């Protein structure tokens, strides 16, 4: 009987992965590995889901639909995808910043190389 129950667990993993938007393969593997615990986790985890919730576009945590600031990452939650695209555009690094980082990386790489070569002798 336990073996039959254990064979049904991948189906529960598939259902959980499909409803939550995860990979079906990983859902089945999780169902196999967790066994009967997967069944319990599936039914318990769906109890607290709120219909008036959405995910934060920055940290992917569950927040209330009316939230203006995410309580997890403390960033502003944009009203629309266009507002999110504009916010991402404002945060982008300019070419001067990227050049400065590249030069800093070059100096650090040379310093590490010289330190390693000095230790070899």
> Mind giving me the DSSP string for 55-90?
E-TTT--EEETT-SB-TTT--B--SSHHHHHHHHHH
Distances (CA, A) of 116 to 40, 105, 109, 111, 120: 54, 16, 11, 9, 6
Domain assignment present for residue 72? The answer is no
Rounded-to-integer distance, Cα 76 and Cα 99, Å: 29
Rounded-to-integer distance, Cα 77 and Cα 53, Å: 13
Strand partners, 76: 69
Domain assignment present for residue 63? The answer is no
Domain assignment present for residue 88? The answer is no
Domain assignment present for residue 108? The answer is no
Q: How many domains does the chain have?
A: 1
pLDDT score, position 91: 59
More confident position, 48 or 92 = 92
Domain assignment present for residue 99? The answer is no
Shortest CA distance to 31 belongs to which of 49, 44, 43, 17? 17
pLDDT score, position 80: 67
Decide if pLDDT at 93 tops 60: no
Q: What pLDDT digit, counting tens, does each position of 13-59 carry?
A: 788 777 777 787 888 888 778 777 777 777 776 545 556 778 888 88
Domain that holds residue 3: 1-49
Query: Under a CB-based contact definition with an 8 Å cutoff, are residues 14 and 27 in contact?
Result: yes
* Lookup result for tokens 């916010």: 87
């Amino acid at each position: 009987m336990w073996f039959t129950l254990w064979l049904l667990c991948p189906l529960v993993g598939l259902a959980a992965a499909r409803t939550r938007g995860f990979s079906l393969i990983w859902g089945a593997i999780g169902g196999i590995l967790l066994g009967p615990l997967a069944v319990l986790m599936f039914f318990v985890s769906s109890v607290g889901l709120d219909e008036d919730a959405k995910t934060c576009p920055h940290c992917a945590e569950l927040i209330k639909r009316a939230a203006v600031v995410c309580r997890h990452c403390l960033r502003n939650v944009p009203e629309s995808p266009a507002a999110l695209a504009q916010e991402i555009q404002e945060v982008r690094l300019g070419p001067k910043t990227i050049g400065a980082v590249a030069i800093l990386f070059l100096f650090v790489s040379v310093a590490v190389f010289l330190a390693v070569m000095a230790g070899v002798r």
